[in-house]
Amino acid sequence: MFSNDLIKPTHFPKDFSWGVATSAFQIEGAANEDGRGTSIWDSFSHTVGKVMDGGTGDIACDHYHRYAEDVAHMAALGVDAYRFSIAWPRVQALGYGAWNEAGFDFYTRLLDALDAHKIAAHITLYHWDLPQGLQDQGGWLQRETAYHFAIYAEEVARRFGHRVASIATHNEPWCTANLGYGNGQFAPGVVDTVAALQVSHHLLLSHGLAMQAMRALPISAKLGIVLNQWTAEPASASQADQDEAAWEYARSVQWFMDPIFKGHYPKRALDRMDLTRFVVHDNDMGIIQQKIDFLGVNYYFRAFVSTENPARKPEAALGLTDMGWEIYPQGLRDLLIGLKREYDEFGLPPIYITENGAAFPDQLVAGLVHDSDRIAYLQMHLQALVQAREAGVDIQAYFYWSLMDNFEWNSGYLRRFGLLYVDYATQKRYFKDSAFWYRDFILACKEA
Ligand code: FCB
């Protein structure tokens, strides 16, 4: 059903936004420069055994010093939008207290460079790099952190809200809660599923508080949140598998969507959770349920659920990426159509695909990377997106993850998602074949 030659430039409207995405910790480096504070990912990645190759964010892609070159690469790609995140500890070392002007200056320089190339900035306030200063006070398990986040959000919006296209509060709060606290694979590395539940609530609360604070400002940026989402599909038609799939969808996708759009947690999820240490204050759900101007959706794979054999994997007819993730473009289409079906009546705003992309074992040979697998991945996911648009889903932007190879969290530098290949020894960037394909496709869309 998905084929890599079916996608055509005429399938996209002229005003569709084409972009690339990154996040601060994964690319910036300059970890100890200009007053940047320590983040939980600095602490975590410097702890032996946490990151597969022992990689850290100390240098990463050295984007802090090479941002001008990187923006020039974006211009060469022809993208009209760039999604990146602000490193909270760079602009407020401890997460509370004094603002760091040198940190803000970096983002001003970056925004100036983007402006010069007419590339719209889409910023994310929290892409996982909590200031260690706040972690030392309990981090996201501590309710107070949500209030600190709102102060930070307001300050960034006050400074940049008139010149960026959008501001997202969080990136993938599901991951912050469940990988940071549930299985401990991500910083701060806590293994406690009940704590993860509380963290997810504080993240949502912080989103609501930040939305309220930013809304009060005279800014033009659209405001929203970025969620990682998947379809959950039963391995068989059995009632048990179907129920399990519905529960999986409830505890991941609806867990964040329902509070924002409906003002309550999904009952199906609550029914099966340990709520002994789950504290929700009286007005919290009202604070969380704020109108958002866009919903950012990150899509990589589907969830596949078998009660008989929980370890069972889907057949993966289109193969796996270097992350071991199933290539399943149909899930993107089904997910988007499902979101419209369920949330339209609750005010679902336009959707931006804020992340989608794949890691493959790229080889740099004579300055070239022949990543036909990534081109096929892109084409099939764009095709899924077109199908969702044809079914009436309002999707206005697509951001490929990522502009360039970078620090892939607990996989370190072993997984390459970029359109640009980064040679970490020299910090030289090379356009992969997929970058040329994306460039040509974007251009054709503009001219179609
Ligand atoms: C997402 C993250 C992003 C990147 C991709 C591969 O979950 O938001 O930073 O690591 O996965």
Catalytic residue list contains 315: no
Domains in the chain, CATH or no CATH each: 9-447 (3.20.20.80)
Question: Could you tell me which of 259, 129, 136 has the C-alpha nearest to residue 202?
Answer: 259
- Give residue 296 CA to ligand 1 midpoint distance, Å: 13
User: Using CA positions, which residue lies closest to atom 9 of ligand 1?
Assistant: 23
Q: What share of the chain has pLDDT > 90, as a percent?
A: 98
Write out pLDDT tens, residues 104-147.
999 999 999 999 999 999 999 999 999 999 999 999 999 999 99
C-alpha distances (whole Å) from 389 to each of 77, 307, 433 are: 24, 33, 27
Q: Helix, strand, or coil here: 97?
A: coil
Mutate to test the pocket of ligand 1, among 124, 185, 409, 416 (most ligand atoms within 8 A of CB): 409
Q: What share of the chain has pLDDT > 70, as a percent?
A: 99
Confidence at 292, pLDDT banded by 50, 70, 90: very high
What the block records as the tokens of 353 is 């695909």
- Give residue 262 CA to ligand 1 midpoint distance, Å: 27
pLDDT higher than threshold 70 for residue 13: yes
Round to whole Å and give the CA distance between 445 and 11: 8
- The whole-number pLDDT of residue 1 equals 56
Is there an atom of ligand 1 within 6 Å of 252 CB? no
Write out pLDDT tens, residues 32-87.
999 999 999 999 999 999 999 999 999 999 999 999 999 999 999 999 999 999 99
Which segments of 232-342 are extended strands (E)?
Answer: 232-234, 294-298, 303-305
Cα(first)–Cα(last) distance of the chain, in Å? 25
Q: Given the CA of residue 226, which atom of ligand 1 is nearest to it? A: 8
Q: Please enumerate in sequence order all residues whose Cβ is within 8 A of that of 234, keeping only pairs 6 or more positions apart, or say none.
A: 241, 242, 244, 245, 305, 306
Write out pLDDT tens, residues 151-203.
999 999 999 999 999 999 999 999 999 999 999 999 999 999 999 999 999 99
pTM metric for this prediction: 0.98
Q: Given the CA of residue 171, which atom of ligand 1 is nearest to it? A: 8
Q: Which whole number is the average pLDDT over 248-257? A: 98
